[in-house]
Structure 1
């Protein structure tokens, strides 16, 4: 991998006067205490009438905080800001969701978009999410950095990744066709990633400066698809440029498990390698390759995950809106039993 020229030193992100952010009115416990658990607003989509309604339901279910994610509407964000003490530990960029033009939403524009105008739009949305996090007195902002665009397989509209997933679901993991498809996909990504990774790194520098100025930390998330940035190797490369209080690792249990099942990096390797840089974790369950299930409704090994989670990492349950409240209550019990969260 060609190393991007480092244009900022770690010291340049430290600032001169320490963290001067105003203190939150919400009684957030010391970050070293693990009995904090957030519910992502992913669950609120088409379920809650307002941001206040979502916060009330989350607290009633046993969560202590929420994560404001990229599916929140501008109206719900305004409602969240109007609450006396919004219990927000993290914001998932871009937030809120905004319609750029017909058929194109803010969360669909990657931070490493090849088109400079689109990339500037994506950066603007991410900077707005960072500013929102500061206004909400959050600790962290979760980022998706971009992708290596996928070409279709010759003679079809299908991508190598789509073919690989289809073969997996057909039980063809141990076939020559699966091995050949996986090898071709990795070879393609390694060959094409260079300029796309450079653009992602450049955008990250802009956002890291913004976050540092506001006393926030950025969390680079484990991605779900092979073509997305960063993969395991790229994560370490990107993190190495920054101090731990500016850019860190955000683990996603379903994404890492999905990658392992398809034949990429082992789930536990992500955790073992980057636990010391971990800002937070998205927690859910997975069935086959489908994630965002309530904890305990799939077959994820939470005990293995719990062994690697640092106590200060922000725990966020990122659960699809289709799951009923009682499944979330049961999920919290499951996470307590397995040591993901404290009792």
Structure 2
């Protein structure tokens, strides 16, 4: 089961979050500046840009930073791209609950990477049956007809297994 739920695991996660927060400064400021410039280019070309929830704690933006970005660029063509495996892996690691991403940013959703996880191993075909697997049914309210859906798999997943995953997603009304 790992050490995430153990005292040492919680302490380590807390230390990593503090380190991440302390390093935010200039890097996040540069990200905001770049996204501001990108939003103007996207507007000029009539395209949306999807900002994806990340897998690793060290990557930008995290949940709080995503909220800042969308607040600052409200009304722009910078939108949300949801990665099911990243959200679930962060949930399983105790970083961010999986459901809050879509609850908070679902109205900005333009696309989704569909894949399952086994604890923190992502890019598995749904349903993986693994521990801490994605609750795909919870996505349904957010998946309007115009939302782009991409099945994102590891290279070693067979075509047959990927096809079974697509069929399962169709049966659930997700694909």
Counterpart of 1:213 in structure 2 is 44
Distance 1:214 1:302 in 2: 33
- 1:284 paired to 2:118: no
Q: Tell whether the 8 Å contact from 2:36 to 2:73 is kept in structure 1 after alignment.
A: no
Contact kept? 1:217, 1:246, Cα under 8 Å: yes
Q: Corresponding residue for 1:222?
A: 53
Aligned with residue 64 of structure 2, among 219, 223, 233 = 233
Q: Does 1:272 align with 2:106?
A: no
Structure 2 match to 1:250:
81
CA RMSD of aligned residues (A): 1.6
Distance 2:75 2:83 in 1: 18
Residue 306 of structure 1, aligned match among 137, 140, 144: 140
Displacement after TM superposition at 1:245 (Å): 5.7
Residues matched between the structures, number: 172
Flag the structure with more relative contact order, 1 or 2, with Cα contacts below 8 A and sequence separation at least 6.
1
Q: 2:100 is paired with a residue of what secondary structure?
A: helix
3-state SS, counterpart of residue 282 of structure 1: strand
Distance 1:202 1:245 in 2: 14
- Does residue 332 (structure 1) correspond to residue 163 (structure 2)? The answer is no
The within-5 A match list for 1:1-343 is 171-244=2-75, 246-298=77-129, 299-341=133-175
| Residues in 1 aligned to 2:5 and 2:164: alpha-carbon distance in whole angstroms | 36
Any unmatched runs of 5+ in structure 1?
1-169
CA distance in 2, matches of 1:223, 1:173: 19
Give the conservation status (yes or no) of the 8 Å contact 1:250–1:281: yes
* CA distance in 1: counterparts of 2:103 and 2:36, whole angstroms: 26
Comparing 206-215 with 271-280, greater Cα deviation is found at 206-215
Q: Measure the CA separation in 1 of the matches of 2:12 and 2:91.
A: 16
User: Helix, strand or coil: the match of 2:113?
Assistant: strand
Which contiguous aligned blocks of 4+ residues in structure 1 show a shift greater than 6 angstroms? none
- Structure 1 contact 275–309 (Cα < 8 Å) conserved: no
Shift of 1:335: 0.6
Q: In structure 2, list runs of 5 or more residues that go unmatched.
A: none
Q: Distance in 2 between matches of 1:290 and 1:171?
A: 13
Quote how far apart the aligned CAs of 1:243 are.
Answer: 4.7
The superposition leaves residues 7-26 of structure 1 with CA deviations (integer Å, 9 ceiling, x where unpaired) of xxxxxxxxxxxxxxxxxxxx
Compared CA separation, residues 264 and 314, structure 1 to 2 (3 A): same
TM-score, normalised with respect to structure 1: 0.48
- TM-score for the superposition, normalised by structure 2: 0.91
Residue 245 to residue 336, structure 1, CA distance change in 2 (3 Å): farther
8 Å CA contact 1:220–1:247 kept in 2: the answer is yes
Closer/same/farther in 2, CA of residues 284 and 188 from structure 1, 3 Å limit? same
- Report if aligned partners of 1:276, 1:310 keep a CA contact under 8 Å in 2: no
